[in-house]
Amino acid sequence: MKILMLYPKFPNTFWSFKKVLNYVKKKAPYPPLGLLTIGSMLPREWKKKLVDLNITNLKTSDIMWADMIFISAMIVQKDNAQAIINRCKKLGKIIVAGGPLFTTGYEDINNVDHFVLGEAEITLQPFLDDLKNGNPKHIYKSSEKADITKTPVPLFSLIDYKDYSSLAIQFSRGCPFNCEFCDIIIMLGRVPRLKTPEQMITEIQTIYDLGYREEIFIVDDNFIGNKKAVKLLLDVIIDWQIAHDFPFTFLTEATLDLAQDEELMMLMSSANFNKVFIGIETPSIESLKECGKYQNLALNLEEAIITIHQHGMQVLGGFIVGFDNDRSDIFDSQINFIQKTGVVTAMVGILTALPETKLWKRLKGEGRLIRDADGTNTSGGLNFIPKMGTKVLVNGYKKILTTIYNPKYYYQRIDTFIKSYKSTVKSKIKMDSSIKPFFKSILRIGMFSKNKWLFWKMIFKTLFTNPKAFPIAIEMAIVGTHFAAVSVKVVNA
Contacts of 27 (CB under 8 A, 6+ apart): 21, 54, 55, 56, 163, 164
H or E element that contains 172: strand 172-173
Per-residue pLDDT tens for 343-379? 999 999 999 999 889 999 999 999 999 998 877 767 7
Tens-place pLDDT, residues 58-109: 999 999 999 999 999 999 999 999 999 999 999 999 999 999 999 989 999 9
Question: Residue 218 contacts by C-beta under 8 Å, 6 or more apart in sequence?
Answer: 168, 169, 170, 171, 250, 251, 252
Q: What is the mean pLDDT of the chain?
A: 94
Residue 167 pLDDT greater than 50, yes or no? yes
Yes or no: say if 29 and 165 are a contact pair by the CB < 8 Å rule: yes
Query: What phi-psi label fits residue 440: left (phi over 0), alpha (psi between -120 and 50 degrees) or beta?
Result: alpha
Between CA 351 and CA 418 the distance in angstroms is 30
pLDDT, position 434? 63
Please report which confidence band the pLDDT of residue 112 belongs to, taking 50, 70 and 90 as the band edges. Answer: very high
Instruction: Please state, in angstroms and rounded to a whole number, the distance separating the CA atoms of residues 480 and 484.
Output: 6
DSSP characters over 185-204: HHHH-SS-EE--HHHHHHHH
Cα(first)–Cα(last) distance of the chain, in Å?
A: 46
What mean pLDDT comes out for the span 287-299? 94
Q: 9 and 52 in contact (C-beta within 8 Å)? A: no
pLDDT at position 27, please?
95
Q: In a 10 Å sphere around its CB, with 0-12 CB exposed, 13-18 middle and 19+ buried, how is residue 154 labelled?
A: buried
CA atoms of 66 and 208, how far apart (whole Å): 31
* pLDDT exceeds 50 at position 327: yes
pLDDT bucket at 432, cuts 50 / 70 / 90: very low
CB 140 within 8 A of CB 19: no
Residue range 148-154: average pLDDT? 98
**Phi and psi at residue 289, to the nearest 5°:** -65, -40
pLDDT of residue 407: 95
Structure confidence by residue, pLDDT tens digits, 231-288: 999 999 999 999 999 999 999 999 999 999 999 999 999 999 999 999 999 999 999 9
